[in-house]
Structure 1
Amino acid sequence: MMKWTIFALAVTLVISSEVVSSKVRERSPRRWLEREARASWTLNEPMLQVRRDKLHVSLQGPPGIRKVSFYMSLNERFSRFRDAQYKFRLKCDAAKFCQRRGGPILQEGDVVYYGMKAKIRKTPLQKFLGRIWIPFPLSTTTGPTESPVLSCSALLPTAASGCAEFAYNTSYGYPTLGSGRRNPERGFYIHTETKASSWSPVVLEPLNQWVDQGITLIYRVYVLDTFVNTNISDDILQKIRQDFVDIRSAGLKVLLRFCYSLNASIIEDAAPLQLKKHIEQLAPILQDHVGVIALMQAGFVGVWGEWYYTANYGNEGNVSLADYENRRQVVFALLDALPKSRQIELRTPNYKRKILERLSPVTSAEAYTDAKVARIGHHNDCFLASDTDFGTYIDKADEYPYLMNETMYVSQGGESCNLNSPRSDCVTALKELQELHFTYLNSRYYPDVLQSWRTQGCYDTIDHSLGYRLIGVFSRIPQVMKRGTIATVGIKIMNVGFSAPINYRSAQIIIINTSSGEEYQSPLQSDFDLRHCHPGVCFLDATLSVPSSASAGDYQVLLKLPDGESSLTDFPQYNIVVENLKIEADPQRRLNLLGSTTIVSAN
């Protein structure tokens, strides 16, 4: 968290008249945000349609309606009306039916972020912000087919003959929390920690309570304070193993960090050879329980594991070439110990560049490979806390664009550590969370920053949007599947979160007989990786071999997005749900209902 700069900052703020005057200037935008956060809308819901390639908005207003304004932006959120890319006023007739076509030309894949204001006589101003709408073409073509392999690909402009198109409701607005909030490996986390000298295990009861609250991530810090100069004891290694077992039992994932001190006055950490031995001791645990590890922060070096106050690796920023070589060996040892399916994270972008001796970000060709550059992400533990995020950036003009590109393909998360209005306010927070593709944040720190987001009205939007947020647009499914043949189902999904999923995940198609419950599922789709579903549109073409023994009749067609680790593939609590497709008849299975088909004899 780079807390060492807080005290210096506090001193500069005490007597500076310039700071006082700037605080006065900051109040106005904050009040603006608070007024907009208190917006209310009790009128009918507007209808959004595409007409002649543009957005058409209509609203049936009440008596006394005088003025209706529509605000919109394409593919970019806005948290104040004045920041919308486009604004137009609806025209209301004598019957108070208001409508207008406006805005830019809409194209396949666009996301419309919108808000509205309406003035009515003797009634408070009606308004809302932060809703989304996904325009898409609707077409359904039906007819018989003689092909033994029926392809209903979402990539085709229109549905092929014999395919039915199922379009889904995509009008999901903020701040309503949907089922996607409980998806794994994303969102606000709960911080936990324990010291080897005073062990505090994870406890199932609070873990289960956090799951009930919608939490899917915990942060676990292991402080090896009694092992700075010795090997980790078998007793502590077994306790760490048991923690992972209990985390798995609760259906959670863990953000993992090890260090030797949580006190800035105690900077002792393990010397290079001893630290390497500790990593070797932990490696079997990391490999056996990789399924519950969302990712691992590099840690180990320095107080809090944040690489600043350290006895052995270059203290307080005075890092020699030999120190950097020792740091490099820590990172490389962690990458070797942790299974290649997982990333580690470093505290600053400069650390990654120095260690890899490379200034350029990871490329799309390198992404998701075993290359070191593709397995090192970033955590910012003083997000928005100052102009440099308390030392996170050395040269922000250079490092910020680097991170924007890096975090398309590697993980980014963290926490704040200081209220720093207006930088820590909603406007900047939403902008940087989106641009830097944040996957997770601390749910309890920094409390003043979190409360400011609640007051200004963006907390729920952030809660929704950390990591991925998947919404089904449409699917194309064969109307009829013949026994003993192969069918292809096409699915179009919109990711309106800040980032793609951070770990590998494939997909399966499941069909269930609506009368007997008879069920069949495809193998994992070998050519599909959900990490490629970046913010925007993604497609899945999934094949299913229809067994010759399948009973004739009507079947539900479902999508399963299981965990990418084979040890967790069959545990439904780790399935991803597409927010508007979750099957409510059996919510514990966390499956996504795509549509229906009929299985008939091959003859």
Structure 2
Amino acid sequence: MLIRFKRGAKEEKTVGQGSGRRKAEKSDSAGQGSGRRKAGKLDSAGQGSGRRKAGKPDSAGQDSGRRESEGQREARVFQAAEFRESSEELSNPGCGWYHVYTFRAQPPADGRPVEEEAWLDESCRAEQLALALIDIGDFRLMPLSREALLHIGRIMEFFHKNRKQLLLRFAYDTEGRGMEREPLTLSMVKRHMEQIGEAIRPYMEDILVMQGIFVGNWGEMHGSKFLDSASMCELIDTLYRITEGRCFLAVRTPAQWRRAAEGTANWRGTAERTVRQQGTAEGTASWRVTTERTVGQQGTAEGAASWQGTVEGTAGQRGAAEGTAGWRRTAERTMGQRGREEGVEGRLALFNDGIFGSPTDMGTYSTASRSEAGETGSWSREEELVWQERYMDSVPGGGEILSGRPLKSYRQAAEELGKMHASYLNSIYHPEQLDYWRNEKAEEPGCWHGLSGYDYIGRHLGYRFFVQNITIKKQQLQITIKNCGFGNLCQEAECFLVSEKEQSSLSCRKLDTDARNWKSGQETMLTAVLSREEDTAGSRLYLLLRRKADGHILRFANEGADEKVPLGEFLKG
């Protein structure tokens, strides 16, 4: 259905919008409307103009006192494009299916190149993401060798050349024997992190998420002696420093995230001073009130450096003060609201390699209620999904699907993956559950009808933006966008209004919006006042979105859209 807006006439109509006839609009500050005007003196160019007082520059940056009246402009009609959702795979960065590629940090004895270790078949090449799992267990008792660090660099270069964005995991164990294969001391783990930081830092733009903190079975943060709150927070802080806060860091469970967030809140300088001053008074009501107030006020002004000293000095002293009701409410509220703000907590995400494997996702959750387990404990599946839906909407999450009993239909899976804000999933594991989805047919109407359940889920991973509607009134453009994906855009992007003339001239201006706030399942309205050049006969309008870091185009889920979405065209009226 076409929407036509006639410009430069006495009336403005919306056809097919159910608005009926509308009365003539009075002329606005830019001289719109065709009412009569008194003749004025000739201006310096010898042309007749209506007598108008000099005005301030209007929204298009022109002096309204020198503009000709709208009634004298050529009449034009805006013909909106047809907006139909597409089920096409968009292949946008930062989301989708991935394969796992496993390496040893110790170079192969036969000297074979990385290309032979990590063969990319055609299905892999179509994926935007890859998970690189690098086994460093050979060095549990010693620093990484120079040869190992060079080999890690070659692995990173391989994925860089193949234009893969990485989910990166270093692990001491790839056989389920974490306790046996991890270092004896925390200091050795930190030493390895510092060394690896030097090797991967040139490739930080290629890393979306670093999963885990090197320890545990398969690097999944279970089955390790370094998972007490103080050790875990110290390792997270070390990772944050070596990556310079330039990628997301993911822990294995929501309970670990909350424990890390609790440690993060205590990094704050004021909280640190308060704790030092109060000494053994920690845990008293006055300490709780002070901490609640200061954590809520400080935001992210102070960095993670002060956190390490605080944790080392106070972790053993907090005792019952940890997790008090007042502090927990404040920490939960502020952590959820800060989202992408500066600091390690704004970069902290989840990865789940037990999705659908059991009612607890193989220990990701528990059977205890929130009230029974406490704020930093592990809760029931239902409560943890509610928590993730609320607090994990600004970071990328995902993992591996397992085949539980009974198997999950694509509709059941889509509902839960939406609550997780899932951005990525393993494309080959577990095959029984994935094949079950492949054999299902989507029942949703429109473009999704008849598509396989597997494709339906894959094409909703992460963000999926769809331009739904456009209106123009008094030079004000309104664009309605819906995020149809499970997740959200987690990296900064720039949105542009593009104007193209019949003579192929092109203009482009950035709109004041942050696409990271175009939330999953919600509609967002963009507004912009059209310039005189954009609002002329022969002008075609488009919307374009690109990632700020590298200019990568982020495609919209509109039929007929390529790098930019057609919005419509001004025709001669």
TM-score, structure 1 as length reference: 0.61
Deviations 1:10-38 (A, max 9, x none): xxxxxxxxxxxxxxxxxxxxxxxxxxxxx
**Runs of 4+, deviation exceeding 6 Å:** 135-144, 543-547
Partner of 1:388 in structure 2? 360
Aligned to 1:540: 526
What is the aligned counterpart of 1:406 among 391, 395, 411? 391
CA distance in 2, matches of 1:205, 1:226: 20
Q: How far apart in 1 are the matches of 2:415 and 2:157?
A: 38
Distance 1:477 1:191, change over 3 A: farther
Question: Which runs of structure 2 are paired with 1:563-602 in the superposition (5 Å)?
Answer: 563-565=547-549, 568-569=550-551, 574-580=552-558, 583-584=561-562, 590-596=563-569
Aligned match of 2:186: 272
Give the match for residue 221 of structure 2. Answer: 307
Aligned to 1:232: 144
Alignment of 1:57-96 (within 5 A): none
Partner of 1:289: 203
Q: Kindly indicate whether residue 98 of structure 2 is the aligned counterpart of residue 189 of structure 1.
A: yes
Alignment of 1:40-55 (within 5 A): none
Q: Alpha-carbon deviation of 1:474?
A: 2.2
- Mapped to 2, the partners of 1:187 and 1:339 lie a distance apart of 26
2:462 partner SS: coil
| Equivalent position SS for 2:439 | helix
Q: Deviations over 1:516-537 (max 9, x none)?
A: x4433335x4652434433220
Counting strand residues as a fraction of each chain, which structure ranks higher?
Answer: 1
Question: Aligned residue for 1:521?
Answer: 508
Offset, 1:263: 1.2
Supply the distance in 1 between the matched residues of 2:21 and 2:81 (Cα, whole angstroms): 10
SS in 1 for 2:428: coil
Amino acid at match of 2:459: H
| Aligned counterpart, 1:509 | 497
Q: 1:332 to 1:212 in 2, by over 3 A?
A: closer
- How far, CA to CA, are the matches of 2:513 and 2:245 in structure 1? 19
AA aligned opposite 2:412: T
Cα deviation for residue 247 of structure 1 reads: 2.9
What corresponds to 2:369 in structure 1? none
Counterpart contact for 2:385–2:419, Cα < 8 Å: no
Q: Which has the larger radius of gyration?
A: 2
AA at the equivalent of 1:209: E
Give me the whole-angstrom Cα distance separating, in 1, the residues matched to 2:490 and 2:497.
Answer: 22
8 A contact 1:207–1:250 mirrored in 2: no
How far apart, CA to CA, are the structure 1 residues paired with 2:141 and 2:122? 38
Q: Distance in 2 between matches of 1:285 and 1:488?
A: 51
Partner residue of 1:463? Answer: 458
From 167, 192, 214, the counterpart of 1:255: 167
For residues 409-448 of structure 1, the aligned pairs below 5 Å read 409-422=394-407, 424-448=408-432
| C-alpha separation in 2, matches of 1:390 and 1:553 | 62
Please tell me the residue identity of whatever aligns with 1:194. F
Cα distance in 2 between the residues matched to 1:300 and 1:216: 24
Structure-1 separation of matches of 2:19 and 2:516: 25
Change (3 A) 1:294 1:165: farther
Task: Quote the offset at 1:431 in angstroms.
Answer: 2.0
1:495–1:535: 8 Å Cα contact kept in structure 2? Answer: yes
Shift of 1:447: 0.8
More helix by share: 2
What is residue 101 of structure 1 aligned with on the other side?
Answer: none
Query: Any stretches of 5+ residues in structure 2 without a counterpart?
Result: 2-15, 33-57, 62-74, 263-322, 367-378, 442-452
Displacement of 1:464 in angstroms is 1.6
Q: CA deviation at 1:575?
A: 1.4
TM-fit CA distance, 1:441? 0.7
For the residue of structure 1 that corresponds to 2:547, the secondary structure is coil
- Residue of structure 1 equivalent to 2:470: 475
The structure-2 alpha-carbon separation of the partners of 1:532 and 1:304, relative to structure 1 and needing over 3 Å to count, comes to: same
Residue 383 of structure 1, CA deviation: 0.5
Q: Unpaired runs of 5+ in structure 1? A: 1-46, 48-134, 152-160, 315-322, 480-486, 585-589
Aligned partner of 1:324 in structure 2 is 229
Contact 1:150/1:488 (8 A) holds in 2: no
Contact 2:498 2:507 in 1 (8 A): yes
CA apart distance, 1:582:
5.4
Identity of aligned residues (%): 21
SS of residue paired to 2:415 = helix
Task: Please tell me whether the aligned partners of residues 386 and 419 of structure 2 are also in contact (alpha carbons under 8 angstroms).
Answer: no
User: SS in structure 2 opposite 1:507?
Assistant: strand
SS at match of 1:278: helix
Shift of 1:376: 1.2
1:342 to 247, 250, 265: 247
Distance 1:398 1:367 in 2: 20
Q: Tell me the C-alpha RMSD between the 2 structures.
A: 3.7
AA aligned opposite 1:355: A
CA distance in 2, matches of 1:473, 1:418: 37
| Kept in 2: contact 1:504–1:531 (CA 8 A) | no
**421 and 209 in structure 1: CA distance in 2 versus 1, 3 angstrom threshold:** same
Cα deviation, residue 280, structure 1: 2.0
For the residue of structure 2 that corresponds to 1:289, the secondary structure is helix
- Is the 1:528–1:540 Cα contact (8 Å) retained in structure 2? no
SS in 2 for 1:448: helix
Instruction: Show the 5 A alignment for 1:215-230.
Output: 215-230=127-142
Q: SS in structure 2 opposite 1:325? A: helix
Structure 1 residues 139 and 285, CA gap change in structure 2 (3 angstroms): farther
Whether 2:345 is the aligned partner of 1:373: answer: yes
1:494 aligns with 2:468: no
How far residue 354 of structure 1 moved from its aligned partner, in angstroms, is 2.1
- Structure-2-length-normalised TM-score: 0.64
Structure 1 pair 530–313 and aligned structure 2 pair: CA distance change class (3 A): closer
Displacement after TM superposition at 1:489 (Å): 4.8
Equivalent position SS for 1:452: helix
Kept after mapping to 2: 8 A contact 1:248/1:292: yes
Q: Aligned partners of 1:561 and 1:496: how far apart in 2?
A: 16
